[in-house]
Structure 1
Amino acid sequence: METTPMSGVTATGEPTHLAGALELAEQFDLPPVRPENRVPTSCLPGVGQLLATLAASTSVRPDAVVLELGTGAGVGTAWLTHGLAPGARLITVEADAERATAVGALFAGEPRVSVVHSDWHAVEPPRGGACLLFADAGLRHEIHPPAWDAIVDLLDIGGLLVFDDLTPPGGPTLLDNEEDKRRFVFGHPRLRGVEVVDISGESSVLVAARHA
């Protein structure tokens, strides 16, 4: 029996918009990993597969909202859309106007996706909070205790928070905010989290659920 590919999925099983997003990543000099220092700049494939899996959980709520802070070239956006439930929405926020315009054009035919050109601090949290939040913006002061709630408040109770671009414990630290992310996830009184180790080559991801 002939089957029809799911919305957001190519016949090969890859996200529909992934190839276009990877082209934009090359255009904006945001390769998945910079060879000179191994620092990730776009969403890695293993991370993308995790995002698609978590986004698929939005099917339990017909009005679910997924948030992405830091659109970049839209690689993470493509993976999130890959798993997004038919009635859910994805709001992705990008501070750089050129990137936001390009990714907006890439996803112009996808009514579930809204690309917002803005600093994410100015974005109103969705009604009821987000079911899933991929925090991939250039976070600095927000991952220190006085400002933790600015991120957690974007989530619904039971909503999931994802931080990527970490090195598994014991490995060489590539980015200067890795331990700050861990302190946030494991130290915030309203979160329960886990570090998913070696999810994409020598990379790990933090996943936390808001419980209060």
Structure 2
Amino acid sequence: MKKEQYDFNLECFNKPSLNAHKYIKQRTEELGFDMASDHASGALMRLLVSSKPNGRILELGTGTGAATAWLAEGLCPNSTLTTIDREDTYLKVAREALEDDKRIDFIVGDAIDYLKNQPEQSFDLIFADAEPGKYHYLEETLKLLKPGGLYIVDDMHPQEDWPEDHYPFAMGALNDLKAVKGVTKAGLSYSSGLIIMTPEYGNS
């Protein structure tokens, strides 16, 4: 066979398994919600969640549940996922799509209020896709990670729908993430641009 005939497309590894994805995609488009996490980021987060058996997972910024469904796919039977958004219109979509999964707790409210009431080292993985935990309140959020826990943010590459005034805001967040001490970091030029951190040994 000629080399052109070999298919090395790796997307076969990134297929969703829940029917919830179809409903979420449809309702997301109907609502005109344009901040949903993308397919490639979701597949990676599914993998990372699955590496945390019996884990407590936290999502800051449910949106319509695109990432929530991927996180749910990675949960083991005894894991839990708490997902928070202040916009009930969007969170309702995620709740409707995933209402049968009793491992998921949907909270409508302010993420900062929730974070303030959590003890340190509470979570095995935090996906921060809201202003609290991503653009501010960063140090407090990182303190909630257990030893070996993972902190994930996406959309760190410029997006087509970013308004002009968002660029300095996003760059400020990127610089804040660069400046974090006591963690091991990886910046991935993959999907929408992800940053992953975990507490260094002895710093959690």
Q: Indicate the TM-score class for this superposition, using the shorter chain for normalisation.
A: 0.7 to 0.9
Partner of residue 47, structure 2? 53
Give the direction of change, closer, same or farther, for the CA distance of 1:13–1:167 in structure 2 (3 Å limit). closer
1:75 corresponds to 2:66: yes
Partner of residue 197, structure 2? 208
1:143 corresponds to 2:135: yes
1:195 corresponds to 2:187: yes
Match of 1:18 among 17, 21, 27: 21
Partner of residue 7, structure 1? none
Give the direction of change, closer, same or farther, for the CA distance of 1:44–1:102 in structure 2 (3 Å limit). closer
1:118 corresponds to 2:120: no
Give the direction of change, closer, same or farther, for the CA distance of 1:129–1:46 in structure 2 (3 Å limit). same
Task: State, as a whole percentage, how many aligned pairs show the same letter.
Answer: 22
Secondary structure, counterpart of 1:48 in structure 2: helix
TM-score by length of 1: 0.76
Give the direction of change, closer, same or farther, for the CA distance of 1:54–1:181 in structure 2 (3 Å limit). farther
Give the structure with higher Rg (CA).
Answer: 2
Deviation track 1:143-199 (CA, whole Å, cap 9, x = no partner) reads 35xx4322212222221111111228xx999542332333233211232211011x2
Q: Which has the higher helix share?
A: 2
Deviation track 1:43-83 (CA, whole Å, cap 9, x = no partner) reads 11111111111111112xx2x11000000000000011111
Deviation track 1:1-41 (CA, whole Å, cap 9, x = no partner) reads xxxxxxxxxxx95231211111221132124xxxxxxxxx1
CA contact (8 A) 1:164 1:206 kept: yes
Residue correspondences, number: 181
Match of 1:130 among 123, 126, 137: 123
User: RMSD of the TM alignment (CA)?
Assistant: 2.6
Partner of residue 3, structure 2? none
CA contact (8 A) 1:72 1:94 kept: yes
CA contact (8 A) 2:62 2:91 kept: yes
Please tell me the residue identity of whatever aligns with 2:64. A
Secondary structure, counterpart of 2:70 in structure 1: helix
Paired with 1:108 and 1:119, the residues of 2 have a C-alpha distance of 21
Paired with 2:69 and 2:177, the residues of 1 have a C-alpha distance of 25
Gaps of 5+ in 2: 1-13
Please tell me the residue identity of whatever aligns with 2:16. E
Secondary structure, counterpart of 2:62 in structure 1: coil
Gaps of 5+ in 1: 1-11, 32-40
Partner of residue 148, structure 2? 158
CA contact (8 A) 2:120 2:145 kept: no
TM-score by length of 2: 0.78
